[in-house]
């Protein structure tokens, strides 16, 4: 077991964990943040996406020791108040979420994308979300939601 | 079957010297882990044999770029995103930033490192063809010192490299000043972003009075390691691009490659596509 200190959604956390334990499992089991989902466990589906120091990563492929000292943002940290974050609101309004399994990852990938490109082209949206698979929506409504969020200027 | 996570050890020393010392001293071997996009997949699937790991992730001494008038030195710990963001690479050595742009998704590019891509040794990896076309050199370090060798002699056989157990890949050096060169890179797979290639070719060439005076071709998935296509290059040197030279180059390519059948494709398809890619490049010269 190793002592880990890191920041999750703005709160500093200290815990003990086996150093190779996946960040995904620490979030879900130790911190009870179940927004990040396990789809594939091998980097293919993006349902476990979180931001690590502002960068989109698959938390199923991060050993917890490599998150030592890092700032992690999960879907639970996206809406700061009771209000939904504008990206979440745009997903809701555009039918960008159905069963919801992919949605936390899609929203964090969108967050990361809109920080890089305020006004992304469809191609940039497709690239930005290429690691996030959805079995329900057929993607068109998700792309619409991202475009709506870009229009609303929600980069922050 | 999921691995029993408590059986695994991972340490993260803060300096390269400390890491090299552990690699040199420890009786049981430590395996480096950088972005983990290969090793953590193996862990998740319950097939990570190595139980002792040592982290290279985000180590400043391995995650750097150094640009000199003649070359760009890339630290082995640079991620694909770092590479895509580097202005000299995107403008002068764009085969590598292109390859980085289709090495998995954005999340994968934020974690996967150039060093990990090379040392992992997959014949299908995306960065090696570009590195071979640019005639990269690689620098290896250990407590015994450092050595620099041509990248084309780094891979020995399937997933076997010249790295000694106590050695790390430190950096990759790409020569600059490719004035007058035409360049080409293409990956053929089920889709670019998130799929391993069926076959890929990267090449650079320069002509003088219509004849090819210099050419280098790197290929993925055509042999058991990433491969420079030396015989194909030889068949083209000092030739002008005519139907006859194209035919000769296609047959040279087929003679020096040994593609495999696997779940992603057949050997016959790979060979035919590789020859078509080469021909596509030659028509641009
Ligand atoms: C969903 C997904 C999609 C992918 N798509 C692609 C793709 O399209 N194209 C492609 O080429 N790859 C792809 N990959 C594979 C992988 O992302 C790359 O090979 C990546 O470059 C590995 O780097 P890493 O730092 O994550 O490696 P790690 O998993 O950390 O390490 C890989 C190997 O390299 C060794 N190693 C790492 N750094 C060093 C060093 N400096 N010195 C010595 N040994 C070292 C490790 O010991 C290990 O054996 C994909 C992976 C996933 C999960
Ligand atoms: S669960 Fe992590 S990418 Fe699928
Ligand atoms: S909404 Fe169900 S997987 Fe995307």
This complex has an ipTM of 0.96
The token pair that represents B181 in the structure block: 């060169």
Would you call A62 an interface residue with chain B, using a CB distance cutoff of 8 Å?
yes
Q: How far is the CA of B95 from the centre of ligand 3 (A)?
A: 35
Summarize pLDDT for A4-30 with one digit per residue, the tens: 999 999 999 999 999 999 999 999 999
Would you call A39 an interface residue with chain B, using a CB distance cutoff of 8 Å?
no
Considering only the beta carbons, identify the residue of A19, A55, A61 that sits closest to B9.
A19
Considering only the beta carbons, identify the residue of A25, A55, A130 that sits closest to B110.
A55
**For residue A111, what are the CA distances in angstroms to A81, A93, A119?**
17, 17, 12
DSSP state of B176: -
Interface touch B40/A55, C-beta < 8 Å: no
Chain A residue nearest residue B58, CA to CA: A66
The torsion angles phi and psi of A52, rounded to 5 degrees, stand at -120, 115
> CA angle, B40 as apex, A8 and B165 as ends, to 5°?
120
Question: Mean pLDDT in each 10-residue stretch from start to end of chain B (285 residues)?
Answer: 86 97 91 98 94 97 98 98 98 97 95 98 96 98 98 96 96 95 92 74 96 97 95 97 96 89 81 94 96
Task: Name every chain B residue with its beta carbon within 8 A of the beta carbon of A130.
Answer: 105-106, 193-194
Structural domains for chain A: 2-76 (3.10.20.30), 86-151 (1.10.150.120)
What pTM was estimated for this model as a whole?
0.96
User: How close is the nearest chain B Cα to the Cα of A130, in Å?
Assistant: 6
User: How close is the nearest chain A Cα to the Cα of B52, in Å?
Assistant: 10
**For residue B38, what are the CA distances in angstroms to A60, B43, B133?**
12, 9, 24
Q: Using alpha carbons, select from B87, B174, B95 the residue that is nearest to residue B129.
A: B95
DSSP state of A27: I
Decide whether any atom of ligand 2 lies within 6 Å of the A63 Cβ: no
**CA nearest ligand 3 atom 4, residue:** A134
Task: Name every chain A residue with its beta carbon within 8 A of the beta carbon of B105.
Answer: 46, 130-132
Task: Name every chain A residue with its beta carbon within 8 A of the beta carbon of B44.
Answer: 22, 41-42, 60-61
The whole-number pLDDT of residue B194 equals 63
Summarize pLDDT for B189-241 with one digit per residue, the tens: 876 666 777 899 999 999 999 999 999 999 999 999 999 999 999 999 999 99
């Amino acid at each position: 077991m190793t002592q880990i200190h890191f920041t999750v959604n703005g709160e500093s956390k200290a815990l003990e964990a086996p150093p190779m334990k996946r960040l995904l499992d620490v979030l879900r089991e130790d911190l009870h943040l179940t927004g990040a989902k396990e789809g594939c466990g091998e980097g293919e589906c993006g349902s476990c996406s979180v931001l690590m120091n502002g960068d989109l990563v698959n938390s199923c492929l991060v050993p917890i020791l490599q998150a030592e000292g890092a700032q992690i943002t999960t879907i639970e940290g996206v809406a700061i108040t009771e209000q939904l974050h504008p990206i979440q609101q745009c997903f809701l309004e555009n039918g960008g979420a159905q069963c919801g399994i992919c949605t936390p990852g899609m929203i964090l990938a969108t967050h990361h994308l809109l920080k890089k490109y305020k006004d992304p082209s469809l191609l940039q949206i497709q690239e930005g979300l290429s690691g996030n698979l959805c079995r329900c929506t057929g993607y068109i409504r998700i792309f619409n939601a991202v475009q709506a969020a870009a229009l609303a200027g929600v980069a922050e | 079957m999921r691995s029993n996570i408590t059986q695994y050890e991972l340490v993260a020393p803060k300096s390269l010297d400390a890491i090299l010392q552990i690699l040199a001293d420890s009786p049981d071997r430590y395996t480096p882990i950088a972005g983990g996009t290969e090793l953590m997949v193996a862990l998740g699937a319950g097939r990570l044999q190595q139980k002792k790991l040592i982290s290279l992730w985000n180590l400043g001494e391995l995650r750097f770029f150094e640009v000199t008038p003649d070359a760009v030195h890339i630290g082995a710990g640079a991620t694909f995103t770092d590479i895509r963001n580097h202005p000299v690479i995107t403008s002068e050595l764009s085969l590598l930033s292109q390859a980085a742009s289709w090495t998995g998704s954005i999340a994968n590019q934020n974690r996967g490192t150039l060093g990990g891509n090379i040392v992992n040794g997959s014949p299908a990896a995306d960065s090696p063809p570009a590195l071979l076309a640019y005639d990269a050199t690689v620098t290896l370090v250990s407590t015994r010192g450092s050595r620099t060798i041509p990248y084309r002699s780094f891979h020995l056989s399937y997933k076997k490299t010249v790295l000694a157990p106590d050695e790390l890949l430190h950096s990759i050096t790409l020569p600059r000043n490719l004035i007058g060169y035409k360049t080409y890179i293409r990956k053929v797979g089920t889709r670019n972003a998130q799929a391993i290639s069926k076959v890929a070719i990267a090449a650079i060439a320069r002509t003088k009075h219509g004849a090819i005076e210099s050419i280098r071709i790197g290929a993925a998935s055509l042999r058991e390691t990433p491969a420079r296509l030396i015989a194909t290059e030889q068949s083209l040197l000092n030739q002008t691009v005519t139907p006859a030279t194209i035919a000769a180059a296609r047959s040279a390519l087929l003679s020096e490659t040994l593609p495999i059948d696997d779940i992603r494709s057949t050997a016959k398809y790979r060979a035919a596509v590789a020859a078509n890619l080469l021909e596509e490049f030659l028509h641009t010269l």
